[in-house]
Structure formats: structure tokens, C-alpha cells
Structure 1
Amino acid sequence: MKIKLYFGQEDSIRKSGIGRAFVHQKKALELNGIPYTTDKDDLDYDILHINTVWPDSFKMINQARDNNKKIVYHAHSTEEDFKNSFMFSNSVSGVYKKWLINLYTKGDYIITPTPYSKGLLESYGISIPIKAISNGVDLKQFNPTEEQIKMFIDEYNIKSSEVIIISVGWLFERKGFDTFVEVAEKLPDYKFMWFGDVKLSRPTKKIKTLLDKLPSNVILPGYVSGDIIKGAYGRSNVFFFPSREETEGIVVLEALACKCNILLRDIPVFSKWLENGVNCYKGNDTDDFVELINKIVLGKSPSLVNNGYEVAKERELSRIGKELLEVYEETLRL
């Protein structure tokens, strides 16, 4: 069996969660000895595993069909997580949903990251087989060392006494960037750092307004990868992710792997695998988040990092590769 992994227009969204998921797929297959190619012109494969929903996807799908290849479509996107993202995303979300359905149903099998996103796809009327498989996390990579933590501290001149609250992602309303800023305003003694590319986020009017008058304790380092972001996870007091909608949230998996104190918005995607007060903390609004951050920082709420790490271990990439293999084998039998 040989798999063709396809990621269209990689340069434009390689910094996104989908870009990270693509990297994870390659490693998951390597860890399980599953041959694959990423050469778009290679016809020596059995299954096309396609990740993106750009117009060029049709070319790959048609190529696969013309050569009697099976297709697994990886459904990273939904109408729900498209809304409240880029400028004008809400006004075209209905068209986007139809586009997604048209593409996803050209596959023989669909993979999506969580039971929640699986339920959304089924609610669209999609009837081909769908399986929820986590995007996974690289436990070896996301295991901050003292050296990486020092690199982060030196890069941003972090004092030992400073409380650091971090988040990672696009600067979207959907991601809760507005809530992040509101919470920071109420906790001026703590330093809030949001890692994400401002320009590529194509901010809405609301986000642009926030960017024009950020509180002095909010720092936007931009997109940061490698040792420094791992050091940020390792030094942070709280990983605060107030997203309103996700299909999974790879950065949450990374934070769990790094043994961060995790604070999430209480949304459906997390309900099946992350439990409030057990392996993370959850809130619903700004006042909740302010109270919970204070309790975590002051030690009034117990650390849940070890329980959170167990969640990450369940989604380690070698395990993900085995789940992918099961889908591939089932697809070939269809």
C-alpha cells in the first residue's frame, strides 16, 4: 500500500493548523512504515489522502479517479469554523458549506479530527463513511527543555517574577482574540502574549479596532515556531485558548504535551475529551476567565498538567498512524 498525501497551495496556509496536521500525517505514516509520496504528479499510489479544499483539489481528485485510485478526504474545515474568521467570512459561509460538501463527497472515505466535527459533517447530509481521528501531537518535539525556555525568556526579556499568559493562533474573533484582550485589560499585572501572524489573519473591523488600542500588557510577537514557541509553552503560567469554534485545536494538543495549565472556552468540540477540573479548566465568559486565571496563578486551583499530558499521550503520532492505516485498509475494501 502506498499513500499520496496532498496539500494544495501549501505556502499560503502552512502556518495554519491544517499545515501542522499535514506534517503530522507524514510523521505518523513514517512511524508506522507506511510508504507515501507528496509528489502531485506521482501516479504510483493506491490512495489519495487529500487535505485541502482549494480549486486545485479537483485536479487531484480527477487524476485519482482517472487512474482508478481510492480517495480519503481529510475534512479539516466546516462552515462553523469558517464563520467569524476572515473579513466577509460570514457573508459567504453558506456558499462555502456547499463547496465543502461538493468536495468531501467526492471521496470514498472522510477523516475528520473529532467526534464533534464528524457530527457536523453528518448534519450536512454527507452519507459516505466518516471516522474521527485526532490530528495528533509530536510528544518528542513538544517537550520544552530548559534551553528552549531560556531562549524564550531572553528573546522577550521576561522577568522571573512575571506571570505569562499565552495563546497561539490566527487573530480571529472565532479564536476569541477579542476575549483575550478583554481579559488582559482586567488583569493588568499579568503579561498576555498571543502568537500568530497578524497580517495573514486578515483582521475584521472589530479585530483591527482592538489592534489599534491594545492594552500595554498585550504582546503580539507574530508567528513564531521552533525552539522559542516551545520555550513559551514551557515558561507560561497559563495557556489560555478562548476559541469559540474548532474542529480540534492542534495548539491545545501541543500545550497539553508541554504540560501547560490549560484554560479553554467551554465549547462542544472539547466536551468528549477534555473535562473541566480533571485535565483542564473551562470558562464561558470574560469574568469566568479572569477568575480562573487568578486561581491557577495563585495556586488556588490545583495543577492538572499531568492529567492533561495523559490526554496528549493518547494522541501521540505513532498511534495516529495506526488509526490512519485502519482507514486506508477499509477504504481499499470499499
Structure 2
Amino acid sequence: MHSVVAFTDTYLPTVNGVTYTVESWRDRWRARGGRMDVVYPNAGGYEPRDGEYPIRSLPFPFYEGFRFGLPRIPRAVRNVDIVHAHTPFALGLGGLRLARREEVPFVASYHTPSSEYASYLTSRDRLEDGIERLSESYERWFLGQTAAVVVPSEATKRDLRSRVGDDVAFRVIPNGVDIDRFRPVDATAFRERHDLTDADTLVGYTGRHGYEKCLGDIVDAVAGLDATVVFGGDGPARDHIEARARTRGVDARFLGFLDRDELPAFYSSLDAFLFPSPVETQGLVALEANACGTPVVGVDCGALSDTIEEGVTGYHYDLGDIEGFRTAIGRTLDEVETLERRCTDRREAMSVEHAVDRLAEVYDAVTGTG
């Protein structure tokens, strides 16, 4: 098995899709007898395990909770076969430096378009457009340094190829879900703990509350439906969403960050998971919900066009079509028992084990050992 070091701008104790992917891939790679070290920003509140190297970091002033790691290479990280960057920012550059120094293949995973952060840097449209163009130019350069770019969906591959070109070797590997953890469970205790027992029909979302995710559309779509909407997670858009719910008279409950152990019960408590974000590279939470037997109503845009199987694991609606969103929610609720059964039938195909099998193939290919 190859010796790998992963560089990531987000890791424990922060919980999000990137953290989950890096940690789950690392654990399974090690279980197979390989080595996968992780270099990440030190945010405090977490005791590193063997092979985890926190480095000095700085807060990102425009996005609470996000930190930039400095482009350092821990002295203990050496004798590696592959460097795998999960970020194009400073820590990704540290990974690129290590790969060049050790003369080993450099692989990058594409999780989030860097241009999406432009809206957090300025509210001026002209300046935001300039930052987006600069970000995309930098992204093309960074990805051009790789032996392979791992993307979580065909939609992301198509989008990147249109912007980066054909010189980059793209490899599609869905991030995968821990189906031992994410499975249908009895959500009674969860509902009681979070005062949700009075709600007959629950729909909701969990994840980062970013403006780019269009979460206010959930409130608008649920308005007029006999349903309670519940939000897990947090982020800069939360106050805006709460105010919107009050204005629209929507019964919305905000739970804040949920412990990862609570997520299977959260998903299992819902009749439908709502996902209006047009900027997903895969939409891992949609697969987690499906693995728990919960259908997803998502925008027919970006990766969600592929992640959600129409009429099988949920339904789509067109971006910006609030009435279409509301109709898709209603249809999902009408067919919920059938959709739940179809979701659980597809659990094996979603597993992280399949993802790591594909990852091993990529590592073999870039090192010429496959």
C-alpha cells in the first residue's frame, strides 16, 4: 500500500463534508495497511492522533470558523509516495512543495470552487467579478500542477473540464458514505431531545449556512405547506434565514451544530431532506440522507442533477422556481414510503469502501504500479 500525506484546510474538530471525506478515507486506507498522514490547520479543541499534524493557522476574517493553514511541511512528514491536496489554498501549496521536493506524484481533490468565496470578500459586484476571475485563473494553474484531479461527480468533471481544459487528468470518485453509521434508525429520542414531537411532518437541511446555498428558498417553498422545517448546522446566513422564516410565518426550528453521532437520527426524523444549493460538487449530505432512507428534494443544477435519482431517491426542481420546489416537496411527501424503500435499496452503492477502492486505482495509476 502507498504512503500518502493529505493536506487539507478543514479537519477535526470542524465537522463538514471535506473533514468527513478526509477522515473516512484516512481511516480506511490505514485499515488496509497503508499510511495516510493528515496535515491541517490547528484550530484547537482536538487532540491529534498518530499521523495527524496540526500546523499554525490564521482566522479567515470574512468567514467565521474557517482558518487558513500556513504553507508549512511538518518535519515528521517524509518518505511519502504520493501527496494528496484537498485544498488549493496555502496548505495545498505546502503539499505541492513537498511533492516537488520528494519528486512524487501530486494529486488534488476538488471539493469547492474557490470562486465561491468571492462573495465573502466584497459586496461590490464589479469587485466580486474580478475576484472570481482571479480565483478561476489561479485554480487552473494549481490543478495544472497535478498528476490527477479527483472530483466527486460527473457534473463537476464536466464543469471543470470546460474551464480548465483537457490537459488535466480527471478521476471521478464519489466521496462515499459510511453506511455502517448512516442507516435508518429510530428517531424518537432525537425528536424528544430537540422538542420536535409536536411536528407531524418534518422536512429540513443540515450543513453550512452559506448565502451561496440559497437556503432561504427552503423557507419560501415550505410556506403554505403543512410541515415543519428544521435546520441543523450554522453559518453566516443563519440570521437571514431565521428572519425570513418569521416574515413568511413558517414553523422553522434551528438546532445549531449537531454532533456527527446525531446525524443518522436527524436524517431519519425527516420525511424529506431539502437541498437548494446550486454550488455542490457532490452534495454528500444528500447521500447521507438517502443512506438513512430519507428522500431528497434538490435543485436540478450542478452535481445534484446526478446525485439525486429522479423518482428513485428524490425529486428535482429548476433553480429559482419556488413553486416547482414546493410541488416537488409535496410529491415527495405523497410518495415517501416508496422513495424510502428505494433509497435503502441503494445503500451499498453509496459506501465509502467503494470510494477507497477507486482511490487505490488512482494512486496506482499515478505511481505506475497499477
Same fold (TM over 0.5): yes
Match of 2:297 in 1: 263
SS of alignment partner, residue 72 of structure 1: strand
Equivalent residue letter for 1:55:
A
Residue 152 of structure 1 deviates from its aligned partner by 1.3
Match of 2:233 in 1: 196
Residue 43 of structure 1 deviates from its aligned partner by 0.5
Match of 2:70 in 1: none
Confirm whether residue 333 of structure 1 aligns to residue 365 of structure 2: no
Aligned CA distance change for structure 1 residues 212 and 273 (closer, same or farther; 3 Å):
closer
Picking from 163, 166, 172, the partner of 2:201 is: 163
Match of 2:46 in 1: none
Aligned CA distance change for structure 1 residues 232 and 272 (closer, same or farther; 3 Å):
closer
Picking from 119, 141, 151, the partner of 2:181 is: 141
Residue 248 of structure 1 deviates from its aligned partner by 0.2
Q: CA RMSD in A?
A: 2.5
Aligned CA distance change for structure 1 residues 130 and 273 (closer, same or farther; 3 Å):
same
Percent of paired sites with the same residue = 19
Aligned CA distance change for structure 1 residues 117 and 3 (closer, same or farther; 3 Å):
same
Aligned CA distance change for structure 1 residues 62 and 79 (closer, same or farther; 3 Å):
closer
Match of 2:224 in 1: 186
Match of 1:103 in 2: 142
Within a 5 Å distance, the mapping from 1:48-87 to structure 2 comes to 48-78=83-113, 82=116, 86=120
Aligned CA distance change for structure 1 residues 25 and 173 (closer, same or farther; 3 Å):
same
Residue 212 of structure 1 deviates from its aligned partner by 3.0
Residue 62 of structure 1 deviates from its aligned partner by 0.9
Aligned CA distance change for structure 1 residues 225 and 132 (closer, same or farther; 3 Å):
same
Confirm whether residue 314 of structure 1 aligns to residue 349 of structure 2: yes
Q: Deviations over 1:112-138 (max 9, x none)?
A: 111111112211234121111101100
Match of 1:279 in 2: 313
Confirm whether residue 129 of structure 1 aligns to residue 169 of structure 2: yes
Match of 1:323 in 2: 358
Picking from 214, 232, 239, the partner of 2:245 is: 214
CA contact 1:296–1:303 (8 Å) conserved in 2: no
Residue 87 of structure 1 deviates from its aligned partner by 5.7
CA contact 1:46–1:69 (8 Å) conserved in 2: yes
Unmatched segments (≥5 aa) in structure 2: 39-52, 54-73
Aligned CA distance change for structure 1 residues 217 and 305 (closer, same or farther; 3 Å):
same
CA contact 2:83–2:98 (8 Å) conserved in 1: no
Residue 324 of structure 1 deviates from its aligned partner by 0.4
Match of 2:330 in 1: 294
Equivalent residue letter for 2:232:
F
CA contact 2:219–2:244 (8 Å) conserved in 1: no
Q: Deviations over 1:157-198 (max 9, x none)?
A: 2226521111112223332211011123222x311011121x
Equivalent residue letter for 1:295:
R
CA separation in 2, counterparts of 1:164 and 1:117?
31
SS of alignment partner, residue 350 of structure 2: coil
CA separation in 1, counterparts of 2:199 and 2:284?
29
Aligned CA distance change for structure 1 residues 317 and 209 (closer, same or farther; 3 Å):
closer
SS of alignment partner, residue 170 of structure 1: coil
Aligned CA distance change for structure 1 residues 300 and 77 (closer, same or farther; 3 Å):
closer
Residue 278 of structure 1 deviates from its aligned partner by 2.5
Picking from 211, 222, 229, the partner of 2:263 is: 229
Residue 301 of structure 1 deviates from its aligned partner by 6.5
Highest relative contact order (Cα 8 Å, sep 6+), 1 or 2?
Answer: 1
CA separation in 2, counterparts of 1:85 and 1:15?
22
SS of alignment partner, residue 124 of structure 1: helix
Residue 307 of structure 1 deviates from its aligned partner by 2.4
Aligned CA distance change for structure 1 residues 227 and 209 (closer, same or farther; 3 Å):
closer
Q: TM-score, normalised by structure 1?
A: 0.87
SS of alignment partner, residue 98 of structure 1: helix
CA contact 1:75–1:104 (8 Å) conserved in 2: no
Residue 310 of structure 1 deviates from its aligned partner by 4.1
Aligned CA distance change for structure 1 residues 63 and 292 (closer, same or farther; 3 Å):
closer
Match of 1:17 in 2: 17
Match of 2:5 in 1: 4
Q: Deviations over 1:15-70 (max 9, x none)?
A: 33212221222134245433322244311210011111222322221122111121
CA separation in 1, counterparts of 2:10 and 2:203?
33
